[in-house]
Amino acid sequence: MTPAGAGAAGGTSALTARVRVRLPAQLQKLAQLPAEIVVAVDGAVTQRAVIDALEREHPVLGGTVRDRATDKRRPFVRFFAGESDLSNAPPDEPLPAAVCEGREPFVVVGAIAGG
């Protein structure tokens, strides 16, 4: 499932990368999507580019993962790649090569409060 043009170093590509995105149950239900989808990302594969592609391909999800006015991640939404929490990483930082190459999904998690 390696996308054409995905850079081995991660994040850079002159072609379109096909990025796997795993969604939380709430967003799956809202958009009537399976747990994991694939989005087309042009150019550098970053959090911003993946979320742009997600919202472009599934408009019903617009504003659910990040605030429409500020483009900031919603407070109770987290992003993961592999075992790394990328929630506070800069949105334009290249994602890990495993995500860019389709070996690992970009995971969106709805945070749960309480104890």
Do the domain assignments include residue 30? yes
- Find, among 74, 81, 16, the residue nearest to 47 by Cα: 81
- pLDDT averaged over every residue in the chain: 87
Q: What is the mean pLDDT of residues 1-13?
A: 44
Contacting residues for 38 by C-beta, under 8 A, at least 6 apart:
18, 19, 20, 21, 102
Q: Is the pLDDT of residue 7 over 50?
A: no
Distance (Å, whole) CA 26 – CA 33: 10
Do the domain assignments include residue 32? yes
| Higher local confidence (pLDDT), 20 or 14 | 20
Record the tokens describing residue 89, joined without a space: 């990483």
Q: How many domains does the chain have?
A: 1
Burial of 29 (0-12, 13-18, 19+ CB in 10 A): exposed
CATH number at residue 73: 3.10.20.30
Do the domain assignments include residue 8? no
Q: What is the pTM of this model?
A: 0.84
Highest mean pLDDT among 12-16, 49-53, 109-113: 49-53
Record the tokens describing residue 113, joined without a space: 């409060």
Q: pLDDT digit string (tens) for 22-42?
A: 999 999 999 999 999 999 999
Rounded to a whole number of angstroms, the distance between the first and last alpha carbons of the chain is: 39
Record the tokens describing residue 30, joined without a space: 């809202």
State the residue range of the domain holding 50. 16-110
